[in-house]
Amino acid sequence: MNPINRRQLLQLSGFAGMGLLLDSCGLNPYSTAVGKAIDPLNQRVEELLLKPQALAREYPVSDIDPKALIINSFTDAPEIDPTTFKLIIDGAVNQPLQLSMSDIQKLPLRSMVIQHVCVEGWAAIVQWGGVRLRDLIALAQPKNTARYVYFESGDGYYNSWDLPSAMHPQTLLAYQKNGLPLPVDNGAPLRLAAPIKLGYKQSKWVTRVTLLDRLPTKQGYWEDQGYEWFGGL
């Protein structure tokens, strides 16, 4: 990424603000011609604001409201047998992997209480437990050309992230919720959980993680219908 000065950042922010203005008028800013033109600028600003090693706020367990996390999926939960499940990690890696849940649960457990924010306007404090995605990616030995991460889910959902967000220390593939095994409706056996992305970026029932050197034509289920690609907080 080439460095930019303060003036350039303010200019980019001004263009990004146009999206907010359109949104406040009741329009989806990313479904309009103007929105499509400014979307790359919005992404650029958000990438500049992302601090890959800076930790987001974590909350005390006492702040958890078990009923606050709304089950929100575009289809019914798929049937996945956790005893035969294999997570595939492939693409721009030197060591493609197929990991069982037993393999994954042998890796260091990271537990965090964070805020899950939905683009629909609600939020919930949730405790997620699982393995850091960066640890799994490290096992696969990513190539220097890798820039993006593409996620496939058992229900047909798909999504893509920038690599720095995927490598953030609070980005998990979670298999626990509020200290208990992750329920199927919340994405078992594995789901993405991170305090740096909106809810639609946090895929449930993740079955495949593919590292890419460029974004594919199909960037995400909701993104392909007009949602912003970066989806950062």
**Model confidence pTM above 0.85:** no
Nearest to 229 by CA among 191, 198, 190, 187: 198
Give a three-class secondary structure readout of 64-122.
CCCCCCCCCCCCCCCCCCCCCCCEEEEECECCCEEECHHHHHCCCCEEEEEEEECCCCC
pLDDT single digits (tens) 45-71: 565 556 666 899 999 999 999 999 998
Q: Please say whether the beta carbons of 86 and 226 come within 8 A.
A: no
pLDDT at 54: 84
pLDDT at 13: 41
* DSSP element (H, E) containing 10: helix 6-24
The pair of three-digit structure tokens given for residue 106, joined into one six-digit string: 């042998």
pLDDT at 50: 60
pLDDT at 23: 38
Q: CA 220 to CA 55: how far, in whole Å?
A: 25
pLDDT at 5: 44
Q: What are phi and psi of 187, to 5 degrees?
A: 120, 10
Question: Sign of dihedral through CA atoms 155, 223, 166, 20?
Answer: negative
pLDDT at 74: 75
pLDDT at 45: 59
pLDDT at 43: 59
The pair of three-digit structure tokens given for residue 168, joined into one six-digit string: 């953030």
Kindly calculate the radius of gyration of the chain based on its CA atoms and give it in whole angstroms: 18
Nearest to 153 by CA among 230, 77, 45, 66: 77
Going from the C-alpha of 202 to that of each of 30, 158, 190, 198, 214, the distances in angstroms are 20, 10, 11, 7, 20
SS3 213: coil
pLDDT at 126: 98
Q: Tell me which residues of the chain have a pLDDT lower than 70.
A: 1-53
In DSSP terms, which residues pair with 174 in a beta bridge? Answer: 130, 191
